Structure 1
Amino acid sequence: MQRPPAPAVLVCSAALLLAACATREAEDDRPPMTPSGVTAQAGSATSVHVMWDRSADDKGVTGYEVYRAGTKVMTLPGTKRMVDIDGLAPRTAYSFTVRARDAAGNLSGTSAAASVTTPSAAPDDHRDPTRPERVEGRTDSGTSVTLTWQPATDDTGVTSYDVYQEDSRVHTVTGTRTSARVTGLRPGTVYTFTVRARDAAENSSPDSNSVDLTTPSAPGDDSANTAPTDLEATVRKGGIELRWTPPETGAPVREHQLHLNGRPATTIVWGAQPPAGTATYTMTVTDEPGTRYSIKLRARLPDGKWGAFSAQRTVVVR
């Protein structure tokens, strides 16, 4: 009986060994770093705002888990580092911790606990706080800004301030604070921020004045220069009048895209000779009084691509 050549057996064994090593190398059994900087602040008598710093992992963090007294109450994607926990009881002490998770399902250690006590409820409180005044801001870096404002007032007391970026709440601080630092932004981007005050009964104030901030661009990136500037939105009878300055592109800007409440609404096109300097457009509206519109624009650039968005303006139909 003929035996197979020995070298063939050795080659096969070597191939199997290499495959096994490659499999072991591909396995990820290293957990992410434990999240730090966890804070918990009462937003009202029945809600708490939990925040934390970004965790790190050799393969990347894909999610976070938030725990209340050791019980998981929320799972979030890796891009989120704050959450509002609702449905809580007034005048009650709570403790929150956070764990990071990677794509392989490895969980980090449990963060240090952040403790908070919700305030007393204010029954039959239907009066909104006054709006925060004189909101101002500065850019700290390409990814963060700091906002400041004058305090609001309320008949039962302001429990928190909510920071909105366009129409999304991105940060919350306690009612004793009059400043907030917003992180996780993109370089070379125009952001519009407003602040609202909130009381223990979840009544929110009207929007503060808006503040537009452009984060510094990364080296070699001038994308922010493609955004329309000086956008104004004024409610008129039967419509909303818009005025803005098109970006400098080296060629006439003949086309702008109008976004309404976060969605493309129409394309504004000029013929052979677009307006020089300030551009204007009146948008017809037929919705009932009290309807809220959020408006922003972007220009079509000479290369056919859309430029960066303008700052956003929010108006309410009278």
Structure 2
Amino acid sequence: MRRTPHRALPYATCAAALLLVTSCGLLGDETRQGPALTAPAGVTAQAGTATSVHVMWSRPEGVAEVRSFTVYRGATRVEEVPGEQHMVDIVGLRPRSTYTFSVRAEGADGTVGPLSAKVTVTTPKAVAEDRSAPTRPGALRGHADGARAATLTWGASHDDKGVVSYDIYQGTSKIHSVGGGETRALITGLRPGTAYVFTVKARDAADNTSPAGPALRLATVKGSGEGPGTAPSDFRVAARRAGGAYYLDLSWTPPRTGGTVPAYRIYLDGHLATTLVWGDAPPAGTARNSFYVGRDAGVRHKVRIRAQLPDGTWGAFSAERAVTTGS
């Protein structure tokens, strides 16, 4: 009779990744840490102009209430925003310069959480005497992606010096920003069964802003499910034997969110096995990971994954794949 192996927590062997969310350290003398606080995830930094950067992040997971977020440029505190705000423009920067940003949360009781992963961004060079705004973005199209997200695409703007970024607005509020080479964004954190109006504006390095492109009205579907556009695609699993043990090699294409995907949850046989967090920049193309599943041949496993979205929630599951060790 075949012995059922004892299942230990899988260990990732992907050198580019850290398993489980860990602190990136503290700055200065702010050393108080509340046990409920974790580091903000999904931190991104996008140059908005030659002298500004748009920093966005996700709400820390498992925290009941966050009073405020502090944004750091290197080791310097540069901005503090209320807990319900997850983005900010950092201005007064130098053109053609590289900066590193990180974020951390402060709880309602005053405890200070760990720093997020650091992200690096380079501002473009300054453009002298540029007073010409980019052209209006082309037709905005989109569709609800489940109950809480929407995928938007638009026609590219043109500028004599180049478009640096696109800003997405919900009504009159800027809610997202992507690089000038992008004409697509996944907007998350929406409410089920709700109508929205979106517009897009383009910006150049001199902070000239285009008129808003055509408005798009759409409504999210009722319910609680995440749309298929939030799921990793082309998910594949293969069993491999090494050193007398078996490992599962995973590969997938990240969902297109208009930014990086900071973390994934890997589920083994219907249970959460581990959370995969990249310690550096996530791969731009195919992502890969490998973890230990035991020493016995002939054991059948089912695996699926899901990605963390820009608002900190978890997207739809990938397709589920079955694999047998030693087959």
Structure number with the higher helix fraction is 1
Tell me which residue corresponds to 1:156: 161
Tell me which residue corresponds to 1:73: 78
User: How many Å separate the matches in 1 of 2:63 and 2:50?
Assistant: 40
2:150 to 145, 148, 158: 145
Report the alpha carbon displacement of residue 59 of structure 1 after superposing the two structures with TM. 3.3
Percent identity among equivalent residues? 49
Alignment of 1:41-52 (within 5 A): 41-52=46-57
Work out whether 1:177 is the aligned partner of 2:172: no
Report the alpha carbon displacement of residue 145 of structure 1 after superposing the two structures with TM. 1.3
Local SS of the residue matching 1:128: coil
Tell me which residue corresponds to 2:122: 117
- Per-residue CA deviation, residues 107-151 of structure 1 (Å, 9 max, x unaligned), is 111111110010011111111111110211111232221111111
Alignment of 1:95-110 (within 5 A): 95-110=100-115
2:43 to 35, 38, 43: 38
**Does the CA contact (< 8 Å) of 1:31 and 1:107 recur in 2?**
no
* Paired letter, 2:37: P
Work out whether 1:190 is the aligned partner of 2:195: yes
Report the alpha carbon displacement of residue 157 of structure 1 after superposing the two structures with TM. 0.3
**Does the CA contact (< 8 Å) of 2:197 and 2:216 recur in 1?**
yes
1:130 to 127, 132, 135: 135
Report the alpha carbon displacement of residue 62 of structure 1 after superposing the two structures with TM. 2.5
53-62 or 97-106, which deviates more: 53-62
The number of residue pairs the alignment matches comes to 192
User: How many Å separate the matches in 1 of 2:193 and 2:136?
Assistant: 30
**Does the CA contact (< 8 Å) of 2:51 and 2:94 recur in 1?**
yes
* Paired letter, 1:92: S
Work out whether 1:211 is the aligned partner of 2:216: yes
C-alpha RMSD of the superposition: 1.6
Larger Rg: 1
User: How many Å separate the matches in 2 of 1:97 and 1:141?
Assistant: 31
2:65 to 60, 67, 88: 60
Local SS of the residue matching 2:114: coil
**Does the CA contact (< 8 Å) of 2:167 and 2:202 recur in 1?**
yes
Question: Where do 5+ consecutive residues of structure 2 fail to align?
Answer: 1-32, 225-327
Tell me which residue corresponds to 2:95: 90
**Does the CA contact (< 8 Å) of 2:34 and 2:107 recur in 1?**
no
Greater RCO structure (CA 8 Å; 6+ sep): 2
TM-score, normalised with respect to structure 1: 0.58
Report the alpha carbon displacement of residue 29 of structure 1 after superposing the two structures with TM. 4.0
**Does the CA contact (< 8 Å) of 2:135 and 2:158 recur in 1?**
yes
Residues 104, 57 of structure 1: alpha-carbon distance in 2 compared, 3 angstrom cutoff: farther
